[in-house]
Amino acid sequence: MQTTSPILVIASTGKTGRRVADRLEAQGQTVRRGSRSGAPGTTRFDWDQPDTWTAALEGARAAYVVYSPDLAVPSAPGAIRAFTQRAAELGVEHLVLLSGRGEEEAQAAESILQSSGLGWTIVRASWFAQNFDEGAFHELILSGTVALPVDQVPEPFIDADDIADVVVAALTEEGHAGQLYEVTGPRLMTFADAVAEIASATGRELNFVPITLEDFRAGLQQAELPTEQVELLDYLFTNLFDGRNARTTDGVTRALGRPARDFGEYARRIAEQGAWTPSQTTV
């Protein structure tokens, strides 16, 4: 379905938002790119400043909703409720929410959409493969040692390109309203398995080292990451890696009619792009 009414894409500079906006524009859809900074080519949208929501939502027929920093944080349900109400008041017809697996706060936000009276689709995702090249683990890969507070708990890493494909389908095609797509990669892998796949794809020697949560927290603080990011990573590693998400799902296949991309395919693609090649300095 294609109309002149825009589709709002929140966090349009992020891992999934950028991909969703690019795909929609490639289809000829009118896209309103929301961003916290309001950089050129985007519309300012800040979850912490509700007065920015109206301009972003006004006239939009649908929206891709990405809550920052994560639906896992306690403030998320309240913000999603207020945002959904604003969207309904402004005539938005359909919301597609990016959610997370095994997070009580995320499921509370999902329930708000489901009872809102608006059209909705929920995309409940496992951990992004792109955390290894666009996110918190990129520098660890470049360093050659990935030290994290997990050991043998597996995760079905999902390619952000698959998430974007599902979201775009939900925003533009019939048949996705009222659907909850739990999307994962096609196989379970430990973090050590994922690092080994990246090592194979790059031809580099990479090591995975399980560490304690205390050492992990200390490392985050030493790296001087923003407090918000430190607290989120601490929450995720403390609460999610107890086996609750150690299973694959058919969400990608149900939404798209094809299997999810494998982590090995992702690793080879990113290795070819050179994202894991340490920069060389000369003296």
Q: What is the pLDDT along the chain (283 residues), one digit of tens a residue?
A: 556 899 999 999 999 999 999 999 999 999 999 999 999 999 999 999 999 999 999 999 999 999 998 998 888 999 999 999 999 999 999 999 999 998 888 999 999 999 999 999 999 999 999 999 998 899 999 999 999 999 899 999 999 999 999 999 999 999 999 999 999 999 999 999 999 999 999 999 999 999 998 898 888 778 777 777 777 888 888 878 889 999 999 999 999 999 999 999 999 999 999 999 997 543 3
Give per-residue burial for 30-52: e unless 16+ CB within 10 Å, then b.
Answer: ebbbbbbeeeeebbbbbbeeeeb
Give the CATH number of domain 7-128+160-186+246-261; options: 2.40.50.140, 3.40.630.40, 3.40.50.720, 3.40.50.10090. Answer: 3.40.50.720
> Which residue carries 């649908």 as its tokens?
62
**What is residue 2's predicted lDDT score, i.e. its pLDDT?**
57
**Helices 15-26/160-172 angle, 10° precision:** 50
Among 174, 156, 123, smallest CA distance to 17 is for 123
pTM as predicted? 0.94
Among 123, 122, 110, smallest CA distance to 76 is for 110
Ramachandran area for residue 180 (φ above 0: left; ψ -120 to 50: alpha; else beta): beta
Please give the full DSSP string across 142-177, using - where no structure is assigned.
HHTEEEES-SS--B--B-HHHHHHHHHHHHHSTT-T
Q: Which helix (H) or strand (E) element contains residue 189?
A: none
**What is residue 197's predicted lDDT score, i.e. its pLDDT?**
98
